[in-house]
Homo-oligomer: A and B are copies of this chain.
Amino acid sequence: MAPPVTVNTINPKVIECEYAVRGEIVILAQKLQDEIKIKLEAHPFEEILYCNIGNPQSLGQQPITFFREVLALCDHPPLLDKSETQGLFSKDSIQRARKILDQIPGRATGAYSHSQGIKGLRDTIAAGIEARDGFPADPNDIFLTDGASPAVHMMMQLLIRSEKDGILCPIPQYPLYSASIALHGGTLVPYYLDEATGWGLEVSDLKKQLEAAKSKGIDVRALVVINPGNPTGQVLAEENQKEIVKFCKEEGLVLLADEVYQENVYVRKKKFHSFKKVSRSMGYDEKDIHLVSFQSVSKGYYGECGKRGGYMEITGFGADVREHIYKLASVNLCSNISGQILASLVMSPPKAGDESYESYISERDGILSSLARRAKTLEDAFNKLEGVTCNKAEGAMYLFPRINLPEKAIKAAGEAKTAPDAFYCRRLLTETGIVFVPGSGFRQVPGTWHFRCTILPQEEKIPAVVTRLTDFHKRFMNEFRD
């Protein structure tokens, strides 16, 4: 009897789905790492330098002390009644933990919460959004989730009925979007960010792509905007955001705003504006636009990826549709409570006068200013490489340099049955231990090649990354020079 499940009998949508950020190159990197662990001289490098994923703490970034103090106290509340605790924890972390426990029904951090998340924590988050935007936020619009990814899946599940439903996505895009659209059986409708203008988003291109999709019978349901950009690192100008909001209103599109990098802005002349603030400042309210904003505890200066916390703020949907979103949230019961607590903390960090305030500011600013320096160093290094151009990382955690590969390299890639940028990244990995993600994993303008590099290796490792990359690149270009 044939085995019941083979690749020929599983859901073809699963096969179609791709996720390069943890794909082939990364799996190879893990293999090399295991080999080095057994035999240090197995490869021409002593460690793997993971620049593939926005995972700051895996590369040595330390968590914010105040956040972890609060989490530890909430995990083990009997600590709050012990005198030794005063010496071990900051005063405001103790106060905050008490306040959070009071907000949790029965102080039970081990209980399933309300499907949208603990109401008191949603109150705190809504207050944080109000303070950020200057416009009201309703705790009943907040759905706490295990990071932003499950929230994106939930919206795709809601919106996509068949392959005739399209979602406008930036190209290049974070592959969560292409993966989620593929898994839910919809169609990704691409719009292209303009590399020549620093990954600018032209509404004229949006219009063109929307019309092209419509003419193919695609019902375009939503527009995804990632701001600050992933993998592209640009920060949208407020004027540009207004055009996008107007476009969504006029075309009847849900605006899915991926705003997980809202704290990661590295240039003085740019500032993060939430799409909710922008649309409200234009006088648009709930009845004018369906807007979903995604936030995560994984990014920012906090970088708490492993805690899987995040939320989406949903505005503009009718009460009956909201009931179905609530039901979807209910089927998975609730997001994890530590992640929920952390989401409330990142939206309400220590304030001036709190005991932890100074250490918090110093930790936060230390991380953000170091990220800005690392972005600049890597950007400069890329721009010095033959045939490579790299836009500024205004925000987020990535650079997405373009590489003009020699014809001979493209031909060699073809013979190896791989994309030219994947060919480059694989060689880079096996020769230097550096892990980049090929641009083809994010999609790109056909005929152009890129890779994504995070700015996350600790500062003392950046010179090694630059040296190894530069030496490799010279060798590679010499080998394949036409």
Binding site for B on A (CB under 8 A): 1-7, 9-15, 17-19, 21-23, 30, 53, 55-60, 63, 65, 68-69, 71-73, 75-76, 78-79, 82, 84-85, 87-88, 105-106, 108-115, 146-147, 149-150, 153, 157-161, 176, 179-180, 183-184, 221-222, 250, 252-254, 287, 290, 298, 303-308, 316-318, 320-321, 324, 327-328, 330-339
Most chain B Cβ neighbours within 10 Å, of A1, A79, A184, A330: A330
Contact B19 A290 (CB under 8 A): no
Given A76-B68, A327-B19, CB of A87 within 8 Å of CB of B84: yes
Please tell me how many copies of the chain the complex holds: 2
Distance in Å from the Cβ of A224 to the closest Cβ of chain B?
Answer: 14
Measured between beta carbons, the chain B residues less than 8 angstroms from A56 are 111
User: Closest residue of chain B to A165, judged by CB?
Assistant: B11
Distance in Å from the Cβ of A47 to the closest Cβ of chain B?
Answer: 12
Contact A307 B336 (CB under 8 A): yes
In the assembled complex, the Cα of A17 lies from the Cα of B154 at a distance in Å of: 14
User: Closest residue of chain B to A219, judged by CB?
Assistant: B9
Given A3-B252, A110-B57, CB of A11 within 8 Å of CB of B327: no
Contact A68 B75 (CB under 8 A): yes
Contact B106 A57 (CB under 8 A): yes
In the assembled complex, the Cα of A30 lies from the Cα of B221 at a distance in Å of: 33
Q: Which of B13, B76, B157 contacts A14 (CB 8 A)?
A: B157
Further 8 A-B residue pairs, CB within 8 A, beyond A11-B160, A180-B331: A18-B327, A53-B112, A63-B110, A72-B75, A85-B88, A110-B304, A146-B332, A336-B339
Measured between beta carbons, the chain B residues less than 8 angstroms from A298 are 112
Contact B336 A159 (CB under 8 A): no
Measured between beta carbons, the chain B residues less than 8 angstroms from A60 are 106, 108
